[in-house]
Structure 1
Amino acid sequence: MDRALWPEGVERCSLGKFLLWLGFVGVILAAGLYEFFMILVPDGLARTALDNYFGFGLWITFDLAVIALGAGAFFTGLLKYILDIKELEKIVNLTVIVGFICYSGAMLVLALDVGQPLRSWFGYWHANVHSMLTEVMFCITCYLCVLAIEFLPNILENRKLNEIPYLHNLAHNMHVVMPLIAGLGAFLSTFHQGSLGGMYGVLFARPYILRDGFFIWPWTFFLFVLSAVASGPCFSVLVVKIMELLTGKQLVDYKVKALMCKIAGTMLCLYLFFKFADTWAWATDVLPRSGLTWDQMFNSDLGYGEWLLWVEIGLCGVLPAILLMVPRFRNTPALLYTAAILNCTGVTINRYVFTVQALAIPVMPFDQWYNYVPNWAEWAPSIGVLAYGALLLSLSYRYLPVFPQEIELNYRKQAPAAPAAPVEEPKEAEEATATA
């Protein structure tokens, strides 16, 4: 029965081995669910390392990072369905699944972070129309619905489900309107990515992240959008590579991966141009006008040193941009995957310093530097979300046609060559021979 659910023409591991893998993932997921329950029901946020000083911590950093890394879904969909880059159809299914995991996982963690889950619906019903977080909340929720709609046709293409005429026709019709869905998703995701950055840029009491504006938006609005589209495609490529290592099969042609990383490298170069300009303007204009200096923004003793900034824009910015843009480097697998890892690390560091370091800096004369170290109650749900992602990817790979190139790359090469057909002598030659 399990074999009958596999995509047609592919091979999967035995059911016993698959269940053993699910058991390993399930143990990690169970640990996260246990802490999830303990925070929601008996203990609340008192179980965490969060306090009145650090209202944002690991969970917000994790949310912002996975939402940025999940941007490969909307950006790849935009390139595939709107700009009609046909090569991306080989990976667009995976990017949708990765995006769905990132956004649904972020929503799960946010359910913990609101502090009073029973009142989490207040933000929708009693929306603060003057807050950028209101736009973020509605856009994330709507975009998660868009991702679910984009994911649904792939689910309906399961071999057994596709045999039902109604579901077969529904999946076909949804593919027809997918450009419209992709355009809507790109619009929603762009604005909530930007509003996440804009929220930080308008916090005038936090000098590390305060920025001037461009029209009605602070510069961080555009920096968050650019950093997301620069890292999201690389993250999708890394997910493919991890799945290939686990399955022992090639799932996406290397040329498609290189194209994704070339697009990401182009966006990374654009982001770095504005990031350097932003850092220079912040250091030479925004801080002096606030009566502050560059050195006051860093404290190496507590781990908030300048080195984080240089690692972010140097080691994890300029270096991967070079590796991704130079064809000789990009066509070397080891260098391409290294650049992708550095790129994703850079955007994670960016979200960390905007979230944690910005809160650690003293802003009042009687304040001092504070250190924040997340405890197990914060780590467990975050790791649990990763296990949830591994579970969903595993089930999707086993039972859904996620990778259109899998058969071509793995099975046709292994098939024995068909015997050559006997060459028939033309009739004219036969008649000439008989006459002779």
Structure 2
Amino acid sequence: MDSALIPKGVKRCPMWQFLLGLGIVGAVLAWGVYAMLLCWFKGLNQTNMNDYYGFALWIWADLAVIALGGGAFFSGLLKYIFGKDELKHIINYAVLIGFICYSSALLILAIDIGQPLRGWFIFWHANVHSMLTEVAFCLSCYFSVLTIEYIPLILENRQLDKVPFFHNLSHNMHEIMAVFAATGAFLSFFHQGSLGGVAGVLFGRPFAFREGLLIWPWTFFLFTWSAAAYGPCFTLLITWITEKVTRKKLVKDNVVDLLAKIAGWMIFTYTIAKLCDTARWANITAPGLGQTLADFYTGTAFYGYWILFAEIGLGGILPAIILISPPLRKNPVWRVIALFLGVMGVSLNRWVMVLQVMATPVMPFDKWALYYPSWQEVATTILPVAYGIILIMISYRYLPIFPQEAELNPIEEEAPEPVEATTEPAAELEPAKA
């Protein structure tokens, strides 16, 4: 029965290995679900959040997965709007990763609000002056877009595709996918930007506050830019990990090279913009609020100058140089290093824009307020990772995610058994009768 569900022309691991993997990851998932239920039934006193940290580890994880999931909207924009047709061989996986990231973000928010049954309040009693309201609407709508983009992939399952209704529905949805790609790019631009804008308008937090264009602080544009730059890096990194786990080549090098090249130039331009923003903030914005650059980096070793260097240098300049240089980009080792550094860089950016903002003292009598999450917060942050791995395992086994897999990994047919030569003398042929 299982073999009838596997896509044609590809080979999968034995069922016992698949179930064993699901069981191991499922145990981690169960641990996270237990911590989530504690937070829901006992309240947010299960966390270490306090008056300094009204939001902490969860919001960092939320912002990080939303940025890393940006590979879905940007790859779709490149493929359907800008005509980069080579990306059709990786767009399915980009959509799956984006679906996992955005559903994880919504799950994290459901835990963070403490009372998920009242989550609908943000839509029914919307604060129209809040950037977070825009984030909630755009995030929910874009998750719906990703669901619509993921449905045709489900319908292409070997058995579902035999049903005429599902076959025709999948075909028709593919025909209009450019509309959803454009809609997703529009929604992503605003919710990615508004997440950055929330930090940029915090006048009472000089580390985050930025000037900007009209009502939008610079962080509005930097968050969108960074998601488009680093999201494809995460897609390529997860693709590489999947290839190593399955011991198969799943995407041709020209597709990987194209997306890595585009990501490299996006990171390069973003890093220049980030350097300009940091220079203006350090020399004009912060001094205008009575702060100096040293105030933000010399109070504790945990937030020293090293974290600024790690974000912009190791997570920005270095991966940009590697990915825009053809010899380095085409080298698998250097390319993976660049992808890993890029994912680290954008995650570190979201970390400082959430946690360092809260840790930095803003009053003369204040001290640095470091934050240590409870085990419940750690477990519920790992929960989406386990959920994502399980969904990738199931989707890879039963759905045609990688169109080039069968071509790159031909299944060797068993050779027919050789016919043994007889040792008996051949019988004489009888003369033909007239």
Q: Answer yes or no: same fold by TM over 0.5.
A: yes
Normalised by the length of structure 1, the TM-score is 0.93
Contact 2:299 2:368 in 1 (8 A): no
Counterpart in the other structure of 1:355: 354
Give 3-state SS (helix, strand or coil) of 1:392's partner. Answer: helix
- 1:119 Cα shift? 2.0
Normalised by the length of structure 2, the TM-score is 0.94
Counterpart in the other structure of 2:263: 264
Give 3-state SS (helix, strand or coil) of 1:53's partner. Answer: coil
| Counterpart residue identity of residue 153, structure 1 | P
Counterpart in the other structure of 2:32: 32
Using the alignment, how far apart are the partners of 2:305 and 2:61 within structure 1?
Answer: 22
Using the alignment, how far apart are the partners of 1:209 and 1:255 within structure 2?
Answer: 40
Contact 1:302 1:371 in 2 (8 A): no
Name which of structure 1's ranges 257-266 and 329-338 shifts more when overlaid on structure 2: 257-266
| Counterpart residue identity of residue 275, structure 2 | F
| Counterpart residue identity of residue 366, structure 2 | D
Unaligned runs of 5+ in 2: 416-434
Counterpart in the other structure of 2:142: 143
Counterpart in the other structure of 1:94: 93
Counterpart in the other structure of 2:311: 312
| Counterpart residue identity of residue 2, structure 2 | D
Using the alignment, how far apart are the partners of 2:301 and 2:276 within structure 1?
Answer: 27
Using the alignment, how far apart are the partners of 1:133 and 1:194 within structure 2?
Answer: 11
Counterpart in the other structure of 1:8: 8
Using the alignment, how far apart are the partners of 1:415 and 1:272 within structure 2?
Answer: 51
Contact 2:395 2:401 in 1 (8 A): yes
Counterpart in the other structure of 2:61: 62
Name which of structure 1's ranges 161-170 and 294-303 shifts more when overlaid on structure 2: 294-303
Contact 1:201 1:218 in 2 (8 A): yes
Residue 396, structure 1, aligned to residue 387, structure 2: no
Contact 1:48 1:378 in 2 (8 A): yes
Counterpart in the other structure of 1:128: 127
Using the alignment, how far apart are the partners of 2:284 and 2:298 within structure 1?
Answer: 21
| Counterpart residue identity of residue 406, structure 1 | E
- 1:397 Cα shift? 0.3
- 1:290 Cα shift? 0.8
Give 3-state SS (helix, strand or coil) of 2:300's partner. Answer: helix
- 1:51 Cα shift? 1.2
Residue 376, structure 1, aligned to residue 375, structure 2: yes
- 1:56 Cα shift? 1.7
Using the alignment, how far apart are the partners of 1:93 and 1:6 within structure 2?
Answer: 17
Give 3-state SS (helix, strand or coil) of 1:3's partner. Answer: coil
Structure 1, residues 373-414: CA drift from partner, whole Å, max 9, x if none?
1121111011111000000000000000000000110106x5
| Counterpart residue identity of residue 29, structure 2 | L
Output aligned runs, 1:78-227, within 5 Å.
78-227=77-226
Using the alignment, how far apart are the partners of 1:95 and 1:321 within structure 2?
Answer: 21
- 1:416 Cα shift? 9.0
Going from structure 1 to structure 2, the CA distance change for 1:67 and 1:23 (only over 3 Å counts) comes to same
Going from structure 1 to structure 2, the CA distance change for 1:111 and 1:299 (only over 3 Å counts) comes to farther
Using the alignment, how far apart are the partners of 1:352 and 1:56 within structure 2?
Answer: 12
- 1:149 Cα shift? 0.1
Structure 1, residues 203-260: CA drift from partner, whole Å, max 9, x if none?
1011001000112210001100111111100100111111111111111112211111
Using the alignment, how far apart are the partners of 2:187 and 2:247 within structure 1?
Answer: 37
Using the alignment, how far apart are the partners of 1:152 and 1:266 within structure 2?
Answer: 32
Using the alignment, how far apart are the partners of 2:212 and 2:234 within structure 1?
Answer: 30
Counterpart in the other structure of 1:252: 251
Going from structure 1 to structure 2, the CA distance change for 1:329 and 1:415 (only over 3 Å counts) comes to farther
Using the alignment, how far apart are the partners of 1:117 and 1:304 within structure 2?
Answer: 33
Length, aligned pairs only = 415
Contact 2:300 2:368 in 1 (8 A): no
Output aligned runs, 1:233-248, within 5 Å.
233-248=232-247
Name which of structure 1's ranges 114-123 and 382-391 shifts more when overlaid on structure 2: 114-123
| Counterpart residue identity of residue 27, structure 1 | A
Contact 2:228 2:266 in 1 (8 A): yes
- 1:44 Cα shift? 1.1
Using the alignment, how far apart are the partners of 2:340 and 2:266 within structure 1?
Answer: 16
Counterpart in the other structure of 1:282: 281
Using the alignment, how far apart are the partners of 2:50 and 2:298 within structure 1?
Answer: 21
Contact 1:69 1:228 in 2 (8 A): yes
Name which of structure 1's ranges 247-256 and 30-39 shifts more when overlaid on structure 2: 247-256
Output aligned runs, 1:401-412, within 5 Å.
401-411=400-410
| Counterpart residue identity of residue 166, structure 2 | L
| Counterpart residue identity of residue 188, structure 1 | L
Counterpart in the other structure of 1:20: 20
- 1:372 Cα shift? 0.3
| Counterpart residue identity of residue 341, structure 2 | L
| Counterpart residue identity of residue 377, structure 1 | Q
- 1:300 Cα shift? 5.2
Name which of structure 1's ranges 362-371 and 317-326 shifts more when overlaid on structure 2: 362-371
Name which of structure 1's ranges 22-31 and 363-372 shifts more when overlaid on structure 2: 363-372
Using the alignment, how far apart are the partners of 2:226 and 2:343 within structure 1?
Answer: 9
| Counterpart residue identity of residue 381, structure 1 | T
Give 3-state SS (helix, strand or coil) of 1:109's partner. Answer: helix
- 1:14 Cα shift? 0.8
Give 3-state SS (helix, strand or coil) of 2:188's partner. Answer: helix
Using the alignment, how far apart are the partners of 1:196 and 1:270 within structure 2?
Answer: 20
- 1:302 Cα shift? 5.0
| Counterpart residue identity of residue 35, structure 1 | A
| Counterpart residue identity of residue 264, structure 1 | A
Contact 2:204 2:362 in 1 (8 A): yes
Contact 1:58 1:378 in 2 (8 A): yes
